[in-house]
Amino acid sequence: MPSLCVIGLCCVRCGLRQAQDFTGYTCPDCGDEGILDVEYDYGRARQQLSADLLAREMRRDIWRYGALLPASPPEPWPGLPVGDTPLFRAARLGTYLGLDHLLVKHDGLLPTGSLKDRASAVAIAQALERGKDIVAGASTGNAASSLAGLAAAAGLRAVIFVPESAPAPKLAQLRTYGALVVAVRGTYDEAFDLCLAATRRFGWYSRNTAYNPVLSEGKKTVAFEVCEGLRWRPPDWIAVSVGDGCILGGVGKGLRDLKELGLISRLPRLLGVQAEGSAAIYNAFLDGARTAEPVRPDTLADSISVGQPRDARKALAAIRDTCGQMIAVSDEAIIEGGHLLGGLAGVFAEPAASTALAGVLAARHEGEIRPGDTVVVLVTGNGLKDPQTTALSTSEPLSVPPDEGALDTVLSALASG
Ligand SMILES: *Cc1c(COP(=O)(O)O)cnc(C)c1O
């Protein structure tokens, strides 16, 4: 078990530092605005995480990068293994996009079907370290089902706040995992605030995006896996869909960590992609701002339907640090992106995940991404999470009676039509 290399936590708003044993969530001076960033002793981490040591490491889950994570996993790790998702070339999809090197990192294949498992795994480890029995979180759906699934496996009780409008499959997942589900008759943002108030009152462990600083640390492991999978030759671009901005900020943090350790020599550029109807971070990027103004969210991609992004500062910093770009795409483009991932790569992605691909398509049209660039698209969630929306405007099945003659008639009509 690698020793912890955390040296403290730093407020992204005012820079105030907390000691490594701080058990609060946000900066005492700035309150909920004062999201913390975990800081590491990179000199120490370097001794535990070299390319050689990693090549010999048998552990495949995210804890292979334990020296750069803010909690230690209990031994043995209880339940669901998180990490080690496939990174593969999508040649046909690349050809369609005019890209020679397009890769997909498929986090829809994590145990509960979304990238959120990376964050929940670290949260569960920390909750266990702190002796908590109850973990709580608010979510558009994926963070909730992720926390509930991992909590079930680890024997913790999960209390989940979701907007009542969350897609039915996500709610079904939560209920099956045995979580206590509070369906809030309001938006995600309102569910979030209610959950924060309840966790404070009852002393539950809080898995609230951004508010809890270890979540973006878990999410950064996807950047570690991408770079290790490419044998430490980083891609030119990593495309990430953006709601609260926690994944984007986490990926940026992971890349900076790797550069500090000397495992990569340059940073890939991040392409942050938002839905036009929920584009608070994109708007801030255009304005050159360091934080985002709330919007009224309106998009079919429920996982990124966020009015008040909680991790805008880290997300915007990640774009700045990597000379990245932000782009906003329409719901039509998001649905089309899902059909392209499905039809040309065999990847079934929920709308919030196909948003990243829609962004790559737009960035190709604008000439921002060039044909020879190596591009990694993060598929953040599985299409089974919201199959109805994912399959919008696909063609209807052919309806036939169980009869060969009738099938012939229908097929010939299709061939001639
Ligand atoms: C949560 C989520 C996102 C966005 O992540 P943020 O950290 O909120 O920006 C994107 N895609 C999927 C599938 C998600 O569940």
Beta-carbon count within 10 A of 52 CB:
7
| pLDDT level of residue 79 (50, 70, 90 thresholds) | confident
Number of domains in the chain: 2
Please indicate, yes or no, whether residues 226 and 370 belong to a single structural domain of this protein.
Answer: yes
Give the distance (Å) from ligand 1 centre to CA of residue 209: 10
Residue 2 has pLDDT above 70, yes or no: no
CA dihedral 352, 162, 69, 290 (to 10 degrees): 60
Q: What is the pLDDT of residues 328-347, one digit of tens each?
A: 999 999 999 999 999 999 99
In a domain, 94, yes or no: yes
Residues whose CB is less than 8 angstroms from the CB of residue 88 and which lie 6 or more positions away in sequence, other chains included: 103, 104, 106
Contacts of 389 (CB under 8 A, 6+ apart): 167, 300, 301, 302, 335, 350, 351
pLDDT score, position 216: 97
Tell me the two tokens of residue 387.
């199959």
Contacts 24+ apart (CB under 8 A), 64-68: 65/221, 65/224, 66/1, 66/2, 67/2, 67/3, 67/4, 67/5, 67/40, 68/5, 68/40, 68/217, 68/220, 68/224, 68/257, 68/261
Task: Decide: 139 in ligand 1 pocket, CB within 6 A.
Answer: no
Residue 271 sits in the same domain as residue 343 = yes
Distances (CA, A) of 131 to 124, 125, 154, 220, 273: 10, 10, 12, 25, 38
pLDDT (tens digit per residue) in 392-403? 989 889 999 999
Question: Quick check: is 414 in a domain?
Answer: no
User: Is residue 260 located within the same domain as residue 139?
Assistant: no
Same domain, 30 and 50: yes
- Assess whether 104 and 48 both reside in one domain: no
284 and 171 co-located in one domain: no
Kindly state whether residues 220 and 209 are assigned to the same domain: no
Pull the structure tokens for residue 104.
Answer: 């997909």
pLDDT for res 6: 96
Residue 280 shares a structural domain with residue 293: yes
Give pLDDT tens digits for 368-385: 999 999 999 999 999 999
Single out the residue in 214, 237, 263 at which a domain terminates.
Answer: 214
Q: For position 400, what pLDDT does the model report?
A: 94
Confidence grade of residue 417 (pLDDT, cut at 50, 70, 90): confident
**What pLDDT is recorded for position 3?**
54
User: 95 Cβ partners below 8 Å, 6+ apart?
Assistant: none
51 phi-psi bin (left φ>0, alpha ψ -120 to 50, beta other): alpha
Ligand 1 atom closest to Cα of residue 216: 7
Ligand 1: does its nearest atom lie under 6 Å from the Cβ of 381?
A: yes
C-beta 243 within 6 A of ligand 1: yes
Q: Does any domain span residue 386?
A: yes
- For residue 408, being part of any structural domain is answered with no
Closest ligand 1 atom to the C-alpha of 249?
Answer: 7
* Atom 2 of ligand 1: nearest residue by CA position: 303
125 ligand 1 Cβ < 6 A: no
Q: Are residues 294 and 315 in the same domain?
A: yes
- Say what the pLDDT of residue 167 is: 85
- Comparing CA positions, the residue from 387, 373, 384, 381 lying closest to residue 356 is 381
Task: Report the alpha-carbon distance of residue 290 to residue 312 in Å, rounded.
Answer: 8
User: Does the beta carbon of 382 sit less than 6 angstroms from any atom of ligand 1?
Assistant: no
Mutate which of 85, 115, 217 to test ligand 1's pocket (most atoms within 8 Å of Cβ)?
115
Closest approach atom of ligand 1 to CA 248: 9
Going from the Cα of 304 to the center of ligand 1, the distance in angstroms, rounded, reads 6
How much distance in Å is there from the Cα of 198 to the middle of ligand 1? 23
Q: Do 302 and 364 fall within a single domain?
A: yes
Mean pLDDT computed over 21-49: 95
Averaged pLDDT, 161-167: 89
pLDDT of residue 1: 39
Cβ of 247 closer than 6 Å to ligand 1, yes or no, is yes
Cα 306 to middle of ligand 1, angstroms: 10
Report whether 131 contacts 156 (CB < 8 A).
no
How many angstroms is it from 247 CA to the middle of ligand 1? 7
Tens-digit pLDDT profile for residues 180-227: 999 999 988 899 999 999 999 999 999 998 899 999 999 999 999 999
- DSSP H helical segments within 208-279, as ranges? 214-219, 221-229, 246-260
Are the CB atoms for 148 and 171 separated by under 8 Å? no
Separation in Å, CA 269 to CA 181, 322, 370, 373, 376: 38, 5, 13, 11, 10
Q: Looking at 193, 214, 235, which one is the last position of a domain? A: 214
> 52: CA distance to ligand 1 center in Å?
32
Ligand 1 touching residue 322 (CB < 6 A)? no
β-bridge mates for residue 37, sequence order: 10
Whether 82 maps to a domain, the answer reads no
Range of the domain at 324: 87-111+216-390
Q: 353 in ligand 1 pocket by Cβ < 6 Å?
A: yes
CATH number of the domain where residue 28 is located: 3.40.50.1100
Q: Average of pLDDT values for 354-371? A: 98
Does the Cβ of 349 fall within 6 Å of ligand 1? no
Cβ of residue 347 lying under 6 Å from some atom of ligand 1: no
Q: Exposure of 255 by Cβ count < 10 A (0-12 exposed, 13-18 middle, 19+ buried)?
A: buried
Dihedral of CA atoms 31, 34, 35, 39 in degrees, nearest 10, equals -120
| Among 130, 285, 315, residue whose Cα is nearest residue 219 | 315
pLDDT (tens digit per residue) in 266-301:
999 999 999 999 999 999 999 999 999 999 999 999
Closest residue by CA, ligand 1 atom 7: 246
Cβ atoms of 301 and 235 within 8 Å: the answer is: no
Q: Are residues 328 and 193 in the same domain?
A: no
3-state SS class at 114: strand
pLDDT at position 99, please?
Answer: 98
User: Which residue shows structure tokens 């266990």?
Assistant: 128
Peptide bond into 76 cis (omega under 30): yes
**Residue 173 CB less than 6 A away from ligand 1:** no
Do the beta carbons of residue 212 and residue 206 sit within 8 Å? yes
**Model pLDDT, residue 170:** 86
Cβ 112 under 6 angstroms from ligand 1 = no
Which of 105, 123, 125 lies closest to 115 in space, CA to CA? 105
Is the C-beta atom of 379 inside 6 A of ligand 1? no
The reply to whether 107 and 197 lie within a common domain is: no
Residue 407: inside a domain: no
- Return the C-alpha torsion angle 141, 276, 311, 366, nearest 10: 120
Distance 280 CA to ligand 1 centre (A): 14
Please write the tens of the pLDDT for every residue from 84-116. Answer: 999 999 999 999 999 999 999 999 999 999 999
Residue at 397 is within a domain: no
- Looking at residue 4, its pLDDT comes to 80
Name the domain boundary from 214, 242, 277.
Answer: 214
- CA-242 nearest atom, ligand 1: 9
What is the atom index within ligand 1 of the atom nearest the CA of 309? Answer: 8
What is the pLDDT, as a whole number, of residue 207?
Answer: 94
pLDDT of res. 255: 98
**Residue 402 falls inside a structural domain:** no
- C-alpha span between 295 and 276 (Å, rounded): 11
CB 114 near ligand 1, within 6 Å:
yes
